[in-house]
């Protein structure tokens, strides 16, 4: 059986694809992300939840501020696998993440888009997460990523894990 060689995408092509998927403008120098513009609600899977909200609770603002500040150091950024996050300063409760599949895995070369929503009671409750990359509801990548967008993780309370693997309000973060 012959080995199949996957062509490597030039970094610029990958970056342009990510910019299109995230619906943002990204300024990158070398491998460091310097700036990301607004995400907005358009096309976000949790936009309706965000619009229904009233006043933003200060505990959520404080927690999200800490997590946003830590994004640059917490998220992996390399040529073979990275995580990119976009958010809107006016709607801090809505995030969009793109995970680039690591090399030497079945996900290599893939870009997987997730929408996150941080409910008003965050960080007392976990964020809500949906997979956007489902081929219009036709593709299920693995047992924990459903074609309807459901993401099953013990941290999110959507999967039964071991004791202590669930959301811990004073310890857990979205960056995990």
Q: What is the pLDDT of residues 1-25, one digit of tens each?
A: 333 333 344 444 444 445 455 554 4
Omega before residue 123 within 30° of 0, cis? yes
CATH of the domain at 125: 3.10.110.10
Residue 42 resides in a domain = yes
Query: Domain limits at 54?
Result: 38-156
Instruction: Write down the pLDDT at residue 46.
Output: 92
Neighbours of 29 (CB within 10 A): 8
Q: Catalytic annotation on 148?
A: no
28 located within any domain: no
First to last CA, the chain: 39
Highest mean pLDDT (candidates 21-25, 26-30, 63-67, 152-156): 63-67
Share of the chain above pLDDT 70, in %: 76
Question: Count of domains in the chain?
Answer: 1
């Amino acid at each position: 059986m012959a080995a199949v060689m996957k062509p490597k995408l030039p970094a610029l092509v990958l970056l342009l694809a990510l910019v299109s998927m995230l619906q943002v403008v990204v300024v990158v120098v070398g491998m460091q992300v310097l700036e990301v513009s607004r995400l907005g609600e358009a096309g976000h899977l949790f936009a309706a939840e965000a619009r229904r909200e009233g006043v933003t609770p200060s505990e959520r603002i404080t927690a999200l501020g800490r997590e946003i500040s830590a994004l640059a150091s917490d998220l992996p950024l390399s040529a073979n696998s990275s995580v990119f996050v976009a958010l809107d300063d006016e709607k801090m409760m809505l995030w969009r993440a793109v995970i680039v599949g690591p090399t030497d895995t079945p996900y290599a070369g893939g870009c997987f888009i997730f929408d996150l929503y941080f409910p008003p009671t965050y960080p007392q409750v976990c964020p809500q997460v949906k997979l956007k990359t489902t081929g219009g509801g036709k593709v299920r990548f693995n047992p924990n990523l459903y074609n309807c967008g459901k993401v099953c993780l013990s941290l999110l309370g959507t999967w039964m894990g071991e004791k202590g693997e669930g959301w811990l309000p004073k310890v857990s973060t979205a960056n995990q």
